[in-house]
Amino acid sequence: MSATTKHVFLDKQHPVLWRALNGLGLKVREAAEAAGLDEKTVELLHVRISQLNGCAYCLDLHVRDALKAGESGQRLAVLPAWRETSLFTERERAALALAESITELPDHRSQAHEEEFAREHLTEEEFSVVSWLVITMNAFNRVSITSHHPVRRDR
């Protein structure tokens, strides 16, 4: 990329659309809270989805938010290998499996397997709200990746 390459910040180009997406995000957070998902779990999902999508801006934002919500550095460090540890509850594992399935859209058999696992450990309301969290976070990731939102150094 040349020094003269200019990025189009989608959020700045169409602020009404950006505000609508943010509004959806706020409604999804309200639904997550109503379903009993704590902030730590919500942020854990945001981090995992952003890892899968390779969104540096959202990773920077949501790792900070996860730490503020009480998430441990150890669990964040091993999150890409969550299936290989016993650090996550069955409910968290179910939410993570569902998040990965919706983000990656695997073949039908794999998707059905992950959904079945999630349904064993999540209520219908939790299953739905986790799905909406994932769908919304994927949209935010795509806006940030397409816009090339910068990650600023800590001061």
pLDDT of residue 112: 97
CATH 1.20.1290.10 fits 37-147, yes or no: yes
| Cβ contact 67:76 at 8 Å | yes
pLDDT of residue 34: 98
pLDDT tens-digit readout, 52-77: 999 999 999 999 999 999 999 999 99
Could you say which residues of the chain have pLDDT below 50? 1
pLDDT tens-digit readout, 35-48: 999 999 999 999 99
> In the chain, where are the structural domains located?
37-147
